[in-house]
Structure 1
Amino acid sequence: MITFLARRLTTSAIVVLISSFLMYFLVAIAVDPLSVLRSSTMPSAAKQQQIAHLTAQLHLDEPVIVRYFDWLKGAAGCTYGMCDLGTNWRTHEAVTSMLSGAVVTTLQLVLVATVLAVVIGAAIGIVSALRQYSGFDYSITFMSFLMYSLPVFWVAVMMKSFLAIDFNDFIQNGGQFSAVWIIGVALVTGLAVGAACGGGRGRILRIGAITALAVGALMVYANLTEFFVTPSSGGPLDLLRVLVFSVAIAFGITALSTGLRNRKALYSALTVAGIGAALYYPMLYFWNAVPASWPIVLLLGVVAMLVGIGVGFAWGGTERSRSARTAAITAFFVAGMLFLDRLAQTWYDYAHSSWVHGRPIATSGDSTPNLGGSYWMHTTDLLTHILLPSITLVLVSMASYTRYVRASTLEVLNQDYIRTARAKGLTERTVIMRHAFRNALLPLASVVPVDILFVLGGALITETVFGWSGMGNLFVTALHENVLDAAMGYLLIVAVLAPLANIVADLLYAVLDPRIRVDA
């Protein structure tokens, strides 16, 4: 392992060194800081004086290779905490400061979107493989190719039109679904869920009808309670909703984790759901007494999972670890639902504040300027700004993950050990979740790390369309304003992340597949 890492890090360092020189040379040719002065209408003497001053300041009279090694000397300091990537000669701001802000913005924008795309894409891909050559499979295949081929900027514009402008109009008009919308959405959802569950025609129609009725009932409930105007007020009805969804989460997690026949795991999950509902009002009092912050929220999430583990072991059974795992996952989602409910209680105040003017879904920027209020107000603001670009990235990215996982699952399902597991009499859930699922995700181990680490380079088109000041926007602005150091700071991060992502992918693949040896 040590030999492998040393060899890969050495070759990666050489690649970064060579690529940084080539990029510096090309960017130095592409940008011209003196272009604005040359086209200026100021007097000739003053123009020549400013040209000479800027030439001396940026060392433009020196050969490119000399300037590169001067830049490299400062960049090499990043390895021991003395990073100097130059300054923006227009604003006199350090490039390291510009990059730190841009990286945080890009992380907020694309990291969560990438994780969601992987999870949703993998789930849809597996279901599509299990329903091979069905109407659901053909529909997913068509939608995957369609979303994969659509330009990102076009999807972004559609998101602005339908999920921002139209949705804001919908809220301003009272947030009421029409009868046509209720019937249409219920039928489409029921058809999709019934086809995904598969089985005979009777089973598909039965599941589809139940799903359609449930969706229709939820939409009617949203109309009666004006959910989109005031999602939660902390009342008894909101507590009942939390309880119902907590129980549904407990059944769903148990069905996927151990199966509903494992009563100890089911009771553990239901106990956690009951604890979450019982803590509904105490947590509201807690948030009123304690100033909320992200560290406290994350700490409470960890505590919730630890409580879930304790509940699982307390219920015991022949396989306590499975009960603990099921209860911990259930606790995580129940705690997340309590967090979202508290956040929803801020929705009305946020949407009707003097900064938002009744149109809460933002179409541009990463925050509302001069927004006041509490942690809950600012978190709501962050979510409303990140919603559209995240959905855009998820729709475009998950199409490729769906195709990867579908192909991998079909290959795994034809393996001999899957036939052996079925011949032993194992349930289909056990065969899929414990044997096929894990091995079907192996190809993603070589794709996902590269995607996740590489997105730190910025979603250039998405950031431009939605006005986010992330890494991609920083690079475009640097080229437009002829700022060499800022452009090179961006390119350096991308050059370092590319080989690092491949190393992580190799190590992860070796951990997941014992047949792979990185030191071979």
Structure 2
Amino acid sequence: MARFIARRLALAVGTLFVLSFLMYGLLEFALDPLVDLRENPAPNRQELIDNRIRLLNLDVPWYQRYFLWLGNFLTGDFGIAWRTMQPVATLVRGAIATSVQLVFAATIISILLGVTIGLVSALRQYTSFDYAITFVSFLLYSLPIFWVAVLLKQFLAIGANDYLQSPTVNWPLVVILSIVSGLFWAGALGGKRAKRIQVFVGAFVVTLAVFAGALLTGWVNNPTIGIVGIGVLSVALALGVSALFAGMNNKRALYAALTTAVLGTVLWWPLQWLFFYVEMNWLWIIGLLALSLALAALIGWLFGGPDRQISIRGAMITALFTSVLIFVDRVLQTWVPYNNAPQIRGRPLATIGASTPGLNADFWMAQLDRATHIMLPTLALVLISFATYVRYQRGAMLEVLNQDYIRTARAKGLSERVVIVRHALRNALMPLASIVPVDFITLIGGAVITETIFGWAGMGRLFITSMDGQEVDPVMFYIILTGGLAMIANLVADFLYAVIDPRIRVNA
């Protein structure tokens, strides 16, 4: 293992050296830091040119400047953006944080939705549901991101903010959304015609009731989850996780998940007191989350069962979901004062920037403000990435389902749940193991168009701004960062292969 890692790291360092040398040479021909001065009509133009040449060492060959830059880079001096005279380290620190904040949620949501819907589409091959998902995924994949982003700003920000000023029930739209929900769930669950009709009616009624209740009760103007909502959703997830990963016959795993859901709901009361009297920060939140996961693991271990790991896993997934619900509920409790703040003026859905300037907010309101700003760019990235993951997961799942060992597992009498979840799904995740890390690193490198449209000062914007300003040092840092992260992503993909498929070993 150590030899493998050392070999890969040595190869990565050598590759980065060659990459940086070649890119520095190309930037010598692509950028001209004196272009603005050559067109300057000032009488002291030559003096200004001489000063900039001395500042940027332009009087020495580019390869000598490269080694000067490399020596400074290796000692932690990443250079300066000479137009503003700001250190590159300062600029990049904020840009990386912005890009990670933007793409992390988008990547997680895209993977979860893409894998789930791609799996269901493969299981419903050549049905109306499969054709519909295939059409939608190809449609989303072909849409230009700038067009999607502009539509989202128009309808989900400007239009939604106008609607929140005087919300009314648009019954035709509510009925259409309810019909779409019914068709989706009827196609996803499948079965005979009678079962599909029952599922359609049930999903239609539930969706219609949820939309009507939210609109008629004024929930959209004061959205909260509350202890009842947290309890219902947590128990529903506990049942779903148990049915999917353990089977309803595994009573101990089921009881472990349900106990975790009930305990998490009960803890909502003391947590409200803690959130009110203690000044929260992310260290507190992470600590509480770790404590809840440890408690859930203990509950799963105490219940045990035929496979204690399954009980622990189900309890921990339930605890994670319940913790997120409690966190979101507390954030939403600041909706009314946030919406009434003078900087917001009743238009909470933001279209530009990562935060609201001048907003006097505590920890919870700051998270709500960040969520309202990140929602649209995240949704834009999800719509594009989701389509890719659906296609990959569907193709991989169809290939695995035709393997001999799947037919053998079914011939042995294993339930369809065990065949799909434990045998087929794990191997179908192999292609995604090599795609997801690289995609994530690519997005950290800069979702240039998305950041530009929504006014996010991330790595993509930094790269474009530096290129326009003829600044070599920020561009070189960007190249080294993205190149190094890409190599790390490939190394992570190799280890994910070994985790998913135990037959793979790094020594091979």
Matches within 5 A, 1:489-508: 489-508=477-496
CA distance in 2: counterparts of 1:328 and 1:499, whole angstroms: 32
Name the aligned partner's letter for residue 296 of structure 2.
G
Where does residue 451 of structure 2 map in the other structure? 463
Where does residue 50 of structure 2 map in the other structure? 52
Where does residue 386 of structure 1 map in the other structure? 374
Matches within 5 A, 1:410-425: 410-425=398-413
1:9-43: CA deviation from partner (whole Å, max 9, x where unpaired): 22222211111111111222222221222222322
Matches within 5 A, 1:199-214: 199-214=191-206
* Number of residue-to-residue matches in the alignment: 508
Contact 1:405 1:444 survives alignment (8 Å): yes
1:180 matched to 2:175: no
1:111 matched to 2:104: yes
- Equivalent in 208, 222, 229 of residue 216 of structure 1: 208
Q: 1:510 to 1:135 in 2, by over 3 A?
A: same
Name the aligned partner's letter for residue 442 of structure 2.
F
Where does residue 511 of structure 1 map in the other structure? 499
Shift of 1:246: 1.9
1:158 matched to 2:151: yes
1:20 matched to 2:20: yes
1:41-89: CA deviation from partner (whole Å, max 9, x where unpaired): 322xx11111111111111121111111111111222xxxxx1121111
Matches within 5 A, 1:318-397: 318-397=306-385
Contact 2:441 2:489 survives alignment (8 Å): yes
Matches within 5 A, 1:3-42: 3-42=3-42
CA distance in 2: counterparts of 1:14 and 1:319, whole angstroms: 47
CA distance in 2: counterparts of 1:282 and 1:494, whole angstroms: 45
Name the aligned partner's letter for residue 45 of structure 2.
K
Name the aligned partner's letter for residue 270 of structure 1.
L
- Equivalent in 417, 420, 423 of residue 432 of structure 1: 420
CA distance in 2: counterparts of 1:131 and 1:383, whole angstroms: 35
TM norm structure 1: 0.95
Name the aligned partner's letter for residue 210 of structure 1.
G
Q: CA RMSD in A?
A: 1.5
Shift of 1:185: 0.8
Where does residue 124 of structure 2 map in the other structure? 131
Q: Is the deviation greater in 210-219 or in 491-500?
A: 491-500
Shift of 1:507: 2.5
1:94-148: CA deviation from partner (whole Å, max 9, x where unpaired): 1111111111111000122112111111111100000000111111111111111
Where does residue 190 of structure 2 map in the other structure? 198
Q: Which runs of 5+ in 2 are unaligned?
A: none
1:128-178: CA deviation from partner (whole Å, max 9, x where unpaired): 00000011111111111111111111111111111111111121123x432
1:179-233: CA deviation from partner (whole Å, max 9, x where unpaired): 112211111101011101111111111111101111111112102321111012x
1:288 matched to 2:280: no
- Equivalent in 407, 425, 434 of residue 446 of structure 1: 434
Q: Is the deviation greater in 30-39 or in 314-323?
A: 314-323
Q: Is the deviation greater in 265-274 or in 1-10?
A: 1-10
Contact 2:250 2:305 survives alignment (8 Å): no
Q: Which runs of 5+ in 1 are unaligned?
A: 78-82
CA distance in 1: counterparts of 2:393 and 2:78, whole angstroms: 41
**What percent identity do the matched residue pairs reach?**
46
Shift of 1:456: 2.0
Where does residue 97 of structure 1 map in the other structure? 90
Contact 1:20 1:495 survives alignment (8 Å): no
Contact 1:454 1:501 survives alignment (8 Å): no
TM norm structure 2: 0.97
